[in-house]
Structure 1
């Protein structure tokens, strides 16, 4: 058994790496832990929920971890359900939220203030306002954050009069309103209009003055607690409003304030706001605090194609100019940002040189990040140099190398790595198997289909052995591989067994059918997909139009092309995809 101190250190490392954007490293630590207590499981669930907005794969992985947790440990806590409910919110699956709600009832946590608050927020966001209000009314204890969530839900649904009725109840509760409360109420009054509401507005303003909304008698700890609560229930914009009210109240922020609000900004996807908070951090003198700097680097590196990833690199340079020595985590975050930039390879090489200079290049996390950025740039020779110098086995590095080989049209080398991994007795994970399956599928055009089919069956056997067959990404990769190899029956069987059918899964089967001349089956699958309220995307229509083309269905081609444009607004995207 791990010593309690070692377990605590492990949990702290998982939390630290996830907060700074290095989910792969957090997952690596979790996977390598021989003995996991509930706190360790909670740490990785929190890490996955914090990264839920960066990709659906993190959401599905979070659900998978939660299932494994329930199989491993009898009791769970509010710290378990809070991140799982956040995953439900990001997934858009109301059934998942209802399932977790039922589980909360079963284990006696339905009325926990954090769990019930998150459920009210989820039901509201999904338009189930009646269920949200019913749950709200049954709650034995309601704080101002929960009242605000309910007020904002009514406002968002256009139920302004319900906002005013609910505020009257809030007034009778004796709780003290905050700035968010008053903004919701005033917005509701303004939308309703009428002379009566004007008088009501005067009363509300007097009520606000009575409570001295903008005094500075609250300490920073209380404000940080409220900010964290909003972040925990997924209300990023309410967290932003709370932060603005904190500034107006002239409460002095600390490092925790800025780290929390920067996490909220990532969830809003408002980079303009992020830059304003960055400026505030500079003005307040916190920009060179390592925790704040890491949060800023994380925010900019997650900015996608907005061009602001370079800000994280510039911030890194500023840190160096002040004489601070970056740790391995900071270096890894900057390298991740480099992988999204046009000049990223050149910048990554500069970071590489600095890592060598300060003796960090051999660090597991830095070397893995370097392998990842070189692999994504198709510089496999440089990636291989670092990979072969690594001491010990690091699954994240192996996965990065396999991905790089695929993007560099060297899929056979990816399969060789998987074979070597088995020979040395190391265990693959879902990412490894999904990548290997993609490698097998991509070799179809170069080798005999049956031979690759054999590779795929070996990988499939490992998937079953590791109990990953229900993982949506592994399953989708297998369906795609079998379909490309002409194993349509195998692809169909896998498709039917998948519990969660993502659009990528539907597309894999549909495109495979079209490519192998099964046009009518492909079109039937498309109709069935639409009848199940699954919205097609660009890839779906590529498969549909290909099926029509292979079969000479001219009139059907025109009809689907017209539907793509009129019903799904995809014509421009498709015709501009080269």
Structure 2
């Protein structure tokens, strides 16, 4: 039995350990030494614990080594001290030396490894513990599940969950919370919610875990509902929960798809601000930073600035959040002022600060200032480089983006998926296939070509650069495809008039379980418009209504264009009138639709109504209305609108506008006015201008001007057969046969071949194109073949 003095000294040590009273503890240690009990294992264990609690690891280690016969408690005490000090290597050495390890020994080592970023080693140790036949405790499972969460290791996490159920710890709140964190961090929110609903008494840790996981996965509305449930259940709301849900309110503004959702998230954010004030959390910097972020992302910089200035303790994160807020709201000047003030306040900007500054400059369109800011960074990261690349790309300064990308490679900075996606976008914008292929090669070198984000960029680049086959090959090799990659292919097919493939891919996308977006529907509707395929267009329109995309202005404009190109102008106008929001594209499509179908008067009325609504027209609007005036013979109106472009609306006329006026004058036989306009025009190298002039000369037998127009076309495009044929026709119509023969000879000498004309027809078997002397296999209502039969050229199946 131990000496009574040992218990007395142990009782003196206990309050020192509890209060971390190092000086008093040393005094007791001195008494132990003078009393002759320094070799007592029990007291030595308590001394190791004392020095460990007071962060005096060397003293704890000396006390341990002074024990002549350390027991398992001695080993566990020094192991705990070593792991607490962060000396993992020494802790592992001590663990290996323990002669008889118990569950506490294993738990201490597994927990230390999991906390210090060695999760894989922690899992290996856990498997070793199981092989030794030891029963894990709730502490073991908590550490192991934490490691699985960090590694996003769902397989081991689920195996661990099975063992938890088997050993009867499934109802332990500590373990339940660890499981909840594991499932949420692995992105399995359905399982996390199921687990949460089975919990008998979820606490603030449980709610914080599920809310944080939902925010991370973008399930913002559900995260807000769980916070409301937490509040209703009178669960203690702490700073961590408040910060998580404020993060949800901030993210909603970026991820919501409707103004109502944005308004709702902001309202909830304001309500949480009231809870913060009620609970006295406003002095907590983490909560304050979350509030600044929430208000900034909703555009209320006045409130964000007020909270920033009210914080009792400002840290680098606070500065970064307020600077990023001004940047996001396009106020680069204020962001720069805050950056300067930050340095004046003795805070050193970090990488996040500079990225925020770069983003601010990029957002305001000032790529040059962003570059100057970038040059001040001593060791720029890939994220900083991406911000500069993004600025160049957004400003469509693709050449500078490519040059910067080359600089980045020479600096030995390895690009990531974002880098390659941005630079591929620039390649698409430039339309230079060779550069795109070089980036593809770089992606393969860095083993990023199979990344879904990069692959989608490659598909988009190849299709926009005209190599649709290469785009298809990249797409086919993708193991995972998101809606962006499908849209890139569908848009690429539609752009290259491969409408059959566009329809086929749209169908395959739906069969693959991918919900079409506005971009998907717009591309398919555009294919219907190009084919003038009304049945397919109506089907697509019905599906758009079913999926709730009919109110989108981008899709709506495509629907108007489709109905107009199919000749159903009344339906186009009905849909136009039903649109709650119309942008300039919607107006242009409707005006142009009237113009295409010969409804010049209605086009003019709609244009004038548009002006009455104070909607500002653009250059495309004037092309549409001038086309209407041209096709319907409203020459005076056309000239009036043309003259108003620069005077009233500040729009410089382009070649297309001049072409419309020339066409109107030509149709009306005003050849003299055409000549006068041609003399004043700044753009006479456009072939369409001269084609319009030549066509007018053919109609009115104007040989001199016709010859000039034809000669200009011979110069611009000598292989185009149209001007030769039209000039020959002018000469023939005026009886100048020798001149007509000379033109045909010139055409023959230059090897110019007249293009054959073709027609196309739509029936239940598809859309068929045919030329002169071709037969088109048609079947009448009784199933008999008509005389029109044989070499049909299938273009697209609608």
TM interval, shorter chain, is: 0.5 to 0.7
Distance change (3 Å), C-alpha of 1:4 and 1:299: farther
Name 2:401's counterpart in structure 1.
309
Q: 1:362 and 1:117 mapped to 2: Cα distance?
A: 36
1:511 equivalenced with 2:592 (yes/no): yes
Name 1:464's counterpart in structure 2.
545
Contact 1:237/1:268 (<8 A) preserved: no
**Deviates most, 482-491 or 247-256:** 247-256
- Which SS does the other structure have where 2:551 is aligned? coil
Name 1:432's counterpart in structure 2.
520
Q: 2:228 and 2:577 mapped to 1: Cα distance?
A: 31
TM-score norm. by structure 2 comes to 0.47
Name 1:552's counterpart in structure 2.
633
Name 1:196's counterpart in structure 2.
none
Q: 1:70 and 1:474 mapped to 2: Cα distance?
A: 31
> 1:336: how far off?
1.9
1:275 equivalenced with 2:360 (yes/no): no
1:288-299 maps to which residues of 2 (within 5 A)?
289-299=381-391
Q: 2:333 and 2:515 mapped to 1: Cα distance?
A: 42
Name 1:572's counterpart in structure 2.
653
1:149-197 Cα deviation digits (max 9, x unpaired): xxxxxxxxxxxxxxxxxxxxxxxxx999xxxxxxxxxxxxxxxxxxxxx
Q: 1:232 and 1:527 mapped to 2: Cα distance?
A: 38
> 1:338: how far off?
2.2
Distance change (3 Å), C-alpha of 1:120 and 1:313: closer
Distance change (3 Å), C-alpha of 1:535 and 1:99: farther
- Which SS does the other structure have where 1:505 is aligned? helix
Contact 1:479/1:509 (<8 A) preserved: yes
1:150-189 maps to which residues of 2 (within 5 A)?
none
Q: 1:336 and 1:264 mapped to 2: Cα distance?
A: 21
Match of 1:239 among 302, 316, 335: 335
Name 2:279's counterpart in structure 1.
none
Name 1:384's counterpart in structure 2.
472
1:263-412 maps to which residues of 2 (within 5 A)?
263-281=359-377, 284-285=378-379, 287=380, 289-305=381-397, 307-319=399-411, 322=412, 324-341=413-430, 344-412=432-500
Q: Structure 2 regions of 5+ residues with no counterpart?
A: 1-153, 155-178, 189-212, 230-243, 275-290, 659-682, 689-798
Q: 1:365 and 1:495 mapped to 2: Cα distance?
A: 36
Match of 1:455 among 536, 556, 575: 536
> 1:121: how far off?
5.6
1:213-246 Cα deviation digits (max 9, x unpaired): xxxx985344323313323554332112222344
Distance change (3 Å), C-alpha of 1:298 and 1:305: closer
1:275-328 Cα deviation digits (max 9, x unpaired): 2012112xx12x2x2322322332232231474222342244235xx2x54333
Q: 1:482 and 1:78 mapped to 2: Cα distance?
A: 46
Match of 2:505 among 417, 424, 433: 417
> 1:440: how far off?
1.5
Name 1:199's counterpart in structure 2.
none
Q: Structure 1 regions of 5+ residues with no counterpart?
A: 12-35, 44-65, 89-95, 123-135, 147-173, 177-216, 445-451
- Which SS does the other structure have where 1:572 is aligned? coil
Higher relative contact order (CA 8 A, sep 6+): 1
1:28-86 Cα deviation digits (max 9, x unpaired): xxxxxxxx94554478xxxxxxxxxxxxxxxxxxxxxx9x9999999996556657778
Q: 1:258 and 1:6 mapped to 2: Cα distance?
A: 34
Q: 2:214 and 2:475 mapped to 1: Cα distance?
A: 32
1:106-154 Cα deviation digits (max 9, x unpaired): 98559876577778869xxxxxxxxxxxxx7xx8x972869xxxxxxxx
- Which SS does the other structure have where 2:376 is aligned? helix
Q: 1:548 and 1:248 mapped to 2: Cα distance?
A: 64
> 1:430: how far off?
1.8
- Which SS does the other structure have where 2:429 is aligned? coil
- Which SS does the other structure have where 1:458 is aligned? helix
Q: 1:233 and 1:42 mapped to 2: Cα distance?
A: 24
Q: 1:103 and 1:293 mapped to 2: Cα distance?
A: 33
Q: 1:414 and 1:246 mapped to 2: Cα distance?
A: 53
Match of 1:499 among 545, 570, 580: 580
TM-score norm. by structure 1 comes to 0.64
Name 1:262's counterpart in structure 2.
358
Q: 1:463 and 1:81 mapped to 2: Cα distance?
A: 30
Contact 1:434/1:474 (<8 A) preserved: yes
- Which SS does the other structure have where 1:339 is aligned? helix
Contact 1:305/1:340 (<8 A) preserved: no
1:522 equivalenced with 2:603 (yes/no): yes
**Deviates most, 489-498 or 355-364:** 355-364
Distance change (3 Å), C-alpha of 1:380 and 1:473: same
Q: 2:186 and 2:404 mapped to 1: Cα distance?
A: 28
1:45-64 maps to which residues of 2 (within 5 A)?
none
Q: How many residues align?
A: 427
Name 1:477's counterpart in structure 2.
558
- Which SS does the other structure have where 1:340 is aligned? helix
**Deviates most, 455-464 or 230-239:** 230-239
Q: 2:398 and 2:478 mapped to 1: Cα distance?
A: 34
1:476-527 Cα deviation digits (max 9, x unpaired): 2111111111121221222122221111111111110111011111111112
Distance change (3 Å), C-alpha of 1:331 and 1:101: closer
Distance change (3 Å), C-alpha of 1:307 and 1:10: farther
Distance change (3 Å), C-alpha of 1:507 and 1:395: same
Distance change (3 Å), C-alpha of 1:69 and 1:418: farther
1:112-151 maps to which residues of 2 (within 5 A)?
143=306
Contact 2:246/2:272 (<8 A) preserved: no
Contact 1:298/1:312 (<8 A) preserved: no
Distance change (3 Å), C-alpha of 1:306 and 1:485: same
Match of 1:535 among 593, 608, 616: 616
Q: 2:522 and 2:548 mapped to 1: Cα distance?
A: 13
**Deviates most, 262-271 or 219-228:** 219-228
Contact 1:309/1:341 (<8 A) preserved: no
Match of 1:225 among 321, 328, 341: 321
Contact 1:470/1:498 (<8 A) preserved: yes
Q: 2:219 and 2:327 mapped to 1: Cα distance?
A: 16
